[in-house]
Copies of this chain bind each other. A is one copy, B any other.
Amino acid sequence: MQHSSSCDSKNRNVKITIKYDGSNYHGWQVQKNAVSVQETFQNALAKIIGDDIDVKGCSRTDTGVHANMYCIGLKTDHPIPCARLKAALNNHLPLDMAVLDCEDMPLEFHPRYDCKRKQYIYKIWNNEVRDPFMNGYALHYRYRDMDEELLNKAAAHYLGTHDFTSFCTLDNRRIGDMRRTVYLSKVERSGDIVTFTVEADGFLYNMVRIMTGTLLRVAQRKIMPDDIPSIIEKKDRSFAGPTAPACGLYLNKVIY
């Protein structure tokens, strides 16, 4: 669990923006018997400002998921200037993690609750032969049936406000409003890399990975783009495609 027992009496609230290769981590959250991003980050932080730290992340992430941008809220009484904290953290963090920015925020800032939108990307390596440099960084999809136009027709159906129950792994953690508003949903090809970009006011558990798995079913012509609205309507996970593996998924932007 997080070091979150503090009574919020700290006099500083620092937003720390990091980037990390998630290959070696079991997601963000501290857990027993597995190395997490949070634990690794807190260990580096403790070397700089001691271990009286209260750290909160902007989002849970699964094992193997990457982040081009991830925001952390740190409450502390330590007076270290932001520029020095950034440099010191980059000295103490492992090479698969980096601090991009540190910024003092109002005390009431919360990295998760104050987040207005998040953007994820999902990368697919679309070539008969795998790319050794994409191993763990993109899903390898070997078939030449990925029609960009068709996939974009499907992706466009994700736009707007919907109950995304069909695109959520039910895990007992999530109860309540399953509606989310999707602002951006598109597929782009650059050479053999196909990228699905989706931005929303929030995401249900596994939502991007199930959206991606459904797009792969569209590539295979097992689901037609115009089937997507009725899959959403059904509010039943079994109608959507499979959950795509974690390795292709990147938290790309966090917008406050």
Instruction: Please tell me if A1 contacts chain B, counting CB pairs below 8 Å.
Output: no
Q: A130 contacts which chain B residues (CB < 8 A)? A: 90, 95, 98
Q: A112 CB to closest chain B CB, in angstroms?
A: 22
Instruction: Please tell me if A100 contacts chain B, counting CB pairs below 8 Å.
Output: yes
- The main secondary structure of chain A at its interface with chain B is mixed
Instruction: Please tell me if A135 contacts chain B, counting CB pairs below 8 Å.
Output: yes
Please pick, from B19, B129, B131, the residue contacting A132 in the complex, using a CB distance under 8 A.
B19
Please report the C-alpha to C-alpha distance between residue A132 and residue B99 in the assembled complex, in whole angstroms: 10
What number of A residues sit within 8 Å (CB to CB) of B?
Answer: 18
Q: Which of A117-170 contact B (CB under 8 A)?
A: 129-133, 135, 137
Please report the C-alpha to C-alpha distance between residue A19 and residue B131 in the assembled complex, in whole angstroms: 8
Instruction: Please tell me if A28 contacts chain B, counting CB pairs below 8 Å.
Output: no
Chain B, Cβ-Cβ closest to A133: B21
Chain B, Cβ-Cβ closest to A140: B95
Encode A183-227 as 1/0 by CB contact (under 8 A) with B: 000000000000000000000000000000000000000000000
What are 7 A-to-B residue pairs whose CB atoms are below 8 Å?
A: A19-B133, A21-B132, A90-B130, A95-B135, A96-B135, A98-B132, A100-B129
